[in-house]
């Protein structure tokens, strides 16, 4: 499979579908809209036109699940999504998050107070130009605030019709169980990739319970992809790029896996979507499990 094609023939639908929350069908290979902001996820992108083109091209390629957050920029990512895609095509699911505040580039502080989360939901609704958020995720559990307060407020907003489904991010199995006792949780977003599988127990739990697992940093392959590294060598044999193999591995790993590779480049976006058409043999899959484990 060529990784240099300017116009991929593969559609994101080739990654398969997942029924998020039991009523929202999404193509499993989505797009994470963090990297369309400035350095340190702070401020506007260096190339605004390219950022808008990436969002539009993603939808053209069958991506119908876009993940963002109010803290990306902050506000920048949500504003760009609305500018590029509103009025939204039928079937497009936009997930956003709240609960992290920004004090500068690369700085993130959790705030989970009820009044803050309510404010952020209202602001996300305004920026995205929608009346209800399909999936709203608690970006982090605030250690200074009882989780009952944070999830309770999201549940109240859900009952008011401002949130359709609730998700959580960066949680342990115990925390996921606790949040599920407070509200219906349809997704969990934890760091997970071929080289970093520390959240394996959360993935196993999510798969057993039918909860969508959204791996952030999905193609961070580190040393595995260095020239001469295991993933680099495997990609040469397979005819796909290391990032495509890493995404294909995630899609193969679990039917609840919803990778959201992000990029600020149309060419890189197209390469990522091409991964939906990459099929690993049993031997290739197991070899990658062993060398990265």
Q: Supply the residues annotated as catalytic.
A: 72
CA of residue 250 relative to chain centroid, distance: 13
d(CA 81, CA 86): 8
Burial class (CB in 10 A: 0-12, 13-18, 19+), 32: buried
d(CA 261, CA 243): 9
What's the CA angle centered on 68, arms 76 and 18, to 5 degrees? 155
């Amino acid at each position: 499979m060529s990784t240099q094609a300017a116009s991929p023939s593969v559609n994101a639908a080739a990654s398969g579908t997942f029924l998020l929350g039991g009523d929202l069908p999404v193509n499993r290979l989505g797009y994470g809209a963090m990297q369309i902001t400035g350095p340190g996820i702070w401020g506007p992108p260096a190339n605004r036109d390219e950022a808008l083109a990436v969002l539009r091209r993603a939808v053209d390629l069958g991506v119908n699940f876009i993940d963002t957050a109010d803290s990306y920029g902050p506000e920048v990512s949500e504003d760009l999504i609305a500018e590029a895609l509103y009025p939204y095509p039928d079937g497009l699911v936009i997930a956003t998050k709240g609960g992290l505040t920004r004090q500068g580039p690369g700085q993130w502080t959790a705030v989970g107070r009820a009044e803050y989360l309510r404010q952020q939901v209202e602001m996300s609704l305004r920026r995205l130009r929608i009346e209800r958020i399909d999936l709203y995720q608690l970006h982090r559990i605030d250690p200074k605030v009882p989780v009952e307060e944070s999830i309770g407020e999201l549940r109240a907003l859900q009952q008011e019709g401002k949130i359709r489904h609730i998700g959580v991010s960066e949680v342990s199995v115990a925390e996921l169980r606790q949040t599920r006792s407070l509200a219906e949780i349809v997704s969990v977003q934890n760091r997970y990739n071929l080289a970093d599988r520390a959240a394996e127990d959360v993935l196993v739990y999510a798969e057993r319970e039918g909860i969508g697992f959204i791996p952030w940093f999905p193609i961070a392959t580190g040393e595995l992809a260095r020239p001469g590294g295991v993933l680099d060598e495997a990609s040469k044999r397979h005819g796909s790029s290391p990032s495509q193999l890493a995404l294909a591995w995630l899609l193969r790993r679990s039917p609840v896996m919803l990778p959201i590779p992000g990029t600020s480049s149309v060419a890189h976006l197209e390469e990522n979507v091409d991964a939906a058409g990459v099929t690993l043999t049993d031997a290739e899959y197991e070899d990658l499990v062993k060398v990265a484990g």
